[in-house]
Amino acid sequence: MLLFVLPLASAQDAVSLRVDRISHPLILLEELRLDFVAGGGARLSIERARFGGQRLRRLRLECGIASLSAEHVSCRDGRLWVGGARRALELELRVDLVRRTVDVAIDDGGGIRLRASLGSDGSLTAQVGRLDLGVVAAWLPALQVWQAGGVFSGELRFRKIASSGQFTLRGELADGRFGTADGLRAAEKLVANVAIAARFHEGAWSWSADAEWRAGAAYWHPFYIEAGPVLRAEGRLDDRRLEVALASLAVEGVRQLAFSARVDLAEFKLRSAALSLADADLAVIGPRWLAPSLAPADGERLHFSGSLSAGLRFDEGMLTGLDLVLDAATLGLAERDRGELLHFGPVSGHLPWQRGCRSQAHFDVDGGRWQGLALGAFVLGLRLDDDQLQFDRIRIPVLDGALELDGLKLRRDAGAWEGSGAVVLEPISMSQLTAALGLPEMRGVLAASMPGLRLRPGEIALDGALVISVFGGYLQATGLRVREAFGVASHLSADVELRHLDLGLLTETFSFGNMTGYIDADIRGLELANWQPVRFDARIASSAGSYPRRISQRAVQNIGALGGTGGMTALQRGLFGLFDTFGYSEIGFRCVLDRDVCLMDGIDGQRADGGFVIVRGGGVPALDVIGYNRHVAWRELIARLRRVLAENVAPVVR
């Protein structure tokens, strides 16, 4: 409805024009007021406006020179404000009331040009030259949080056909950029071409779009993306929803990538989506798309091969279907400057999953390798039921033994995976194992049982005991907890018992001299941070029982080197050079590590001189090994041990 208001006192001085609503398939204006003032000027205010899908409020136009007649309305030397913007745009406007056409030109004074013509038949043509997205962002709150910038140039055309209309947009973005305050999303030097065509019919737009990303790069945490993708899409748009019926994205290393989606615009919520990925080359997409998720800090150390195909389905923002196929897929982890540390695969198989349905997955794994330790081929089978995974018994050959996982179950709860199972390590030759790992040769076998393994987000825990057979005795760990095992803040805690370890095997393995007998050890409150000890209370003592107890001259020297300056009686110093081995009755040593300092002690009982006995003599000949330095920096103690093993450094005997 149009209302012309002419003041009765002086109709020639001022004219006011009010318009409730102006509508067009592309434009909607509401609550307009136009005032022609004395002197030839004019003011126009628009309370609400919509251009395409974008809504604006409080537009204000002031014309330095305005004219109104039965034939035309014009505005020259105009200044336009949008919303609360302080910066005005220069504007020229002419409306031909006879031909029913509109021509408008906008200039921001910094190079931006916008020219538009609205024909009597409803057609619209607009050219944009160097539109600064930073200026547009000042008008549009949705763009402000992205700190968007860049320059857009292009042409828009609209042609009305009966009750429908056709719309096309072609343009180029240059020097595009954006960034969020948290730094997790950013881009710069973007160059892209875009072409959009749409047809308006029965209250909705049927559209198609093509976009080519030609230059620049973006970071979308945790992914770094470079130019190259080409998008083609088509769908439908109305006031309530956006539908992407079919879209394809050309990406290097992928034979085909297609998707569809339905978005609720009122709530800006993804209602449904589907994605199809065919024959993705893992050597290409692995470093770009998989490594940042698997190992953000060490992505450059991962390498991939083989191919992957997948289909995904989302409903109401949740994953409801997954179909995954691997073909000779491999994963490797390289150690800095030392070659490959880990290799897994090739893996081939199929995993089908759909929410609310049960399915079976099967993968053939052609072995793997960790450093020099080779793993044999095995089969990975599992049953899927909604958010639960139940694995078949898995047996992985390791040298002359095997690692067996039984009853392994995983469950997703509140967005996180938890699980439980049992692990058994069948006996493996220590000789073969140490050779494969490049360690000093050890004898015997390694076997372990972990009946109560629990997996939680960022944590591996053990209910019960981990038992390992080693050096003729056994190691038992209880209260075992590993947090962030592969992260930068890994932490392990446990209590460890070692029982009846054969000193002959132990000292021979580590070239420590020669000792006969057996020892027990208790390590209480063990804590490792980044796999380095930070706290424990360790005690070593001779095992109970009757057995030969001898210690060689070299072993005496090495024990003394670990404990610092040792002491012997004058008689013992005289005997030391005459015999190769000595009898002993008891061994005892304690180290309480806290704040990088080891508080050392020996066999229970105080000496008058403040020393502590590490080895108490017995038999003929016999000698005591005594330590006096009770406080030793942990790093210094480790350095002493390394020197003993590498150089066989002897203590100073006084």
Between CA 619 and CA 241 the distance in angstroms is: 93
Burial 377-393 (b: 16+ CB within 10 A, else e): ebebebebeeeebbbbe
Q: What does the DSSP assignment read for 333-378? A: EEETTTEEEEEEEEEEEEEEEETT-EEEEEEEE--EEETTEEE--E
Tell me which residue of 151, 154, 153, 196 sits closest to 177, measured CA to CA.
151
Q: What percent of the chain has pLDDT over 90?
A: 30
Does an H or E element contain 431, and which? helix 430-437
Between CA 511 and CA 328 the distance in angstroms is: 44
Longest dimension (CA), the chain: 134
Residue 398 in any domain: the answer is no
pLDDT of residue 463: 80
Residue 9 has pLDDT above 50, yes or no: no
Among 35, 68, 98, residue at a domain's last position? 98
Residue 543 has pLDDT above 80, yes or no: yes
Does an H or E element contain 50, and which? strand 42-51
Between CA 238 and CA 483 the distance in angstroms is: 50
Between CA 306 and CA 280 the distance in angstroms is: 8
pLDDT of residue 356: 87
Residue 135 has pLDDT above 80, yes or no: no
Which is more confident, 471 or 594?
A: 594
What are the residues whose beta carbons fall under 8 Å from the beta carbon of 263, sequence distance 6 or more? 241, 242, 243, 269, 270, 271
Q: Compute how many other C-beta atoms are within 10 angstroms of the C-beta atom of residue 430.
A: 20
Does an H or E element contain 61, and which? strand 54-68
Q: What percent of the chain has pLDDT over 70?
A: 86
CB 534 within 8 Å of CB 527: yes
pLDDT of residue 196: 94
Q: Which residue has the tokens 């030392």?
A: 338
What's the pLDDT band for 56 if we cut at 50, 70, 90? confident
How far is the CA of 532 from the CAs of 20, 173, 536, 593, 632, in angstroms?
A: 75, 52, 11, 12, 17
Residue 244 in any domain: the answer is no
pLDDT of residue 564: 56
Lowest mean pLDDT among 278-292, 500-514, 637-651: 637-651
pLDDT of residue 234: 96
Please tell me whether residues 518 and 374 are part of one structural domain: no
Among 386, 410, 441, residue at a domain's last position? 386
Please tell me whether residues 494 and 380 are part of one structural domain: no
Length of the chain: 654
Strand, coil or helix: what is 305?
Answer: strand
Q: What does the DSSP assignment read for 594-636? A: ETTEEEEEESSS--TTS-EEEEEE-SSSB--EEE---EEEHHH
Q: Which amino acid is at 60?
A: R
Q: Which residue has the tokens 């020669």?
A: 514
Between CA 33 and CA 47 the distance in angstroms is: 9
Read off the tokens for 400. 């002359």
Lowest mean pLDDT among 437-441, 459-463, 622-626: 437-441
Lowest mean pLDDT among 150-164, 183-197, 220-234, 355-369: 150-164
Residue 622 in any domain: the answer is yes
Does an H or E element contain 570, and which? helix 570-576
Between CA 429 and CA 219 the distance in angstroms is: 49
Residue 421 in any domain: the answer is no
For the stretch 359-418, pLDDT in tens is: 999 999 999 988 778 899 999 999 998 889 999 999 999 999 999 999 999 998 877 788
Lowest mean pLDDT among 518-532, 543-557, 584-598: 543-557
pLDDT of residue 41: 82
Q: What domain range is 2 assigned to?
A: 1-98
Please tell me whether residues 509 and 638 are part of one structural domain: yes
What are the residues whose beta carbons fall under 8 Å from the beta carbon of 112, sequence distance 6 or more? 106, 129, 130, 131, 132, 135
Residue 574 has pLDDT above 80, yes or no: no
pLDDT of residue 511: 66
Handedness of CA 385, 388, 393, 396 (dihedral sign): positive
What's the pLDDT band for 118 if we cut at 50, 70, 90? confident
What's the pLDDT band for 138 if we cut at 50, 70, 90? low
Residue 10 has pLDDT above 50, yes or no: no
pLDDT of residue 140: 67
Q: Compute how many other C-beta atoms are within 10 angstroms of the C-beta atom of residue 239.
A: 9
Read off the tokens for 182. 């948290």
For the stretch 320-355, pLDDT in tens is: 999 999 999 999 888 766 666 788 889 999 999 998
Indicate the Cα dihedral angle 511, 513, 519, 524, nearest 10°.
-60
Q: Mean pLDDT, to the nearest integer, of 476-491?
A: 80
pLDDT of residue 349: 96
CB 95 within 8 Å of CB 78: no
Between CA 263 and CA 150 the distance in angstroms is: 27
Q: Mean pLDDT, to the nearest integer, of 72-81?
A: 86
pLDDT of residue 321: 93
Rounded to the nearest integer, the mean pLDDT of the chain is 83
Beta bridge partners of 305: 330
Between CA 388 and CA 379 the distance in angstroms is: 20
CB 25 within 8 Å of CB 160: yes
Residue 649 has pLDDT above 50, yes or no: no
Between CA 620 and CA 583 the distance in angstroms is: 6
Helices vs strands, H then E, count in the chain: 9, 45
pLDDT of residue 307: 95
What's the pLDDT band for 60 if we cut at 50, 70, 90? confident
Q: Compute how many other C-beta atoms are within 10 angstroms of the C-beta atom of residue 600.
A: 21
Q: What does the DSSP assignment read for 178-223? A: EE-TTSSEEEEEEEEEEEEEEEEETTEEEEEEEEEEEEEEEEETTE
CB 353 within 8 Å of CB 322: yes
Please tell me whether residues 643 and 494 are part of one structural domain: yes
Among 386, 416, 442, residue at a domain's last position? 386
For the stretch 215-249, pLDDT in tens is: 999 988 888 888 999 999 999 998 889 999 999 99
Residue 49 in any domain: the answer is yes
Residue 408 in any domain: the answer is no
Please measure the distance between the N-terminal and C-terminal CA atoms of the chain and give it in whole angstroms.
113
Read off the tokens for 29. 């204006």
Strand, coil or helix: what is 487?
Answer: coil
Tell me which residue of 160, 170, 232, 251 sits closest to 201, measured CA to CA.
160
Cis peptide bond N-terminal to 621, omega within 30: yes
Total count of domains within the chain:
3
Q: Mean pLDDT, to the nearest integer, of 551-572?
A: 63
What are the residues whose beta carbons fall under 8 Å from the beta carbon of 173, sequence distance 6 or more? 150, 151, 152, 190, 191, 192, 193, 194
Q: Compute how many other C-beta atoms are within 10 angstroms of the C-beta atom of residue 92.
A: 16
pLDDT of residue 521: 95
What's the pLDDT band for 11 if we cut at 50, 70, 90? very low
Backbone phi, psi, residue 77, to 5°: 55, 45
Residue 443 in any domain: the answer is no
What's the pLDDT band for 540 if we cut at 50, 70, 90? very high
Residue 156 in any domain: the answer is no
Backbone phi, psi, residue 547, to 5°: -165, 160
Read off the tokens for 163. 């009750």
Backbone region of residue 595 per phi and psi (left: phi > 0; alpha: psi in -120 to 50; beta: other values): left
Handedness of CA 545, 547, 553, 554 (dihedral sign): negative
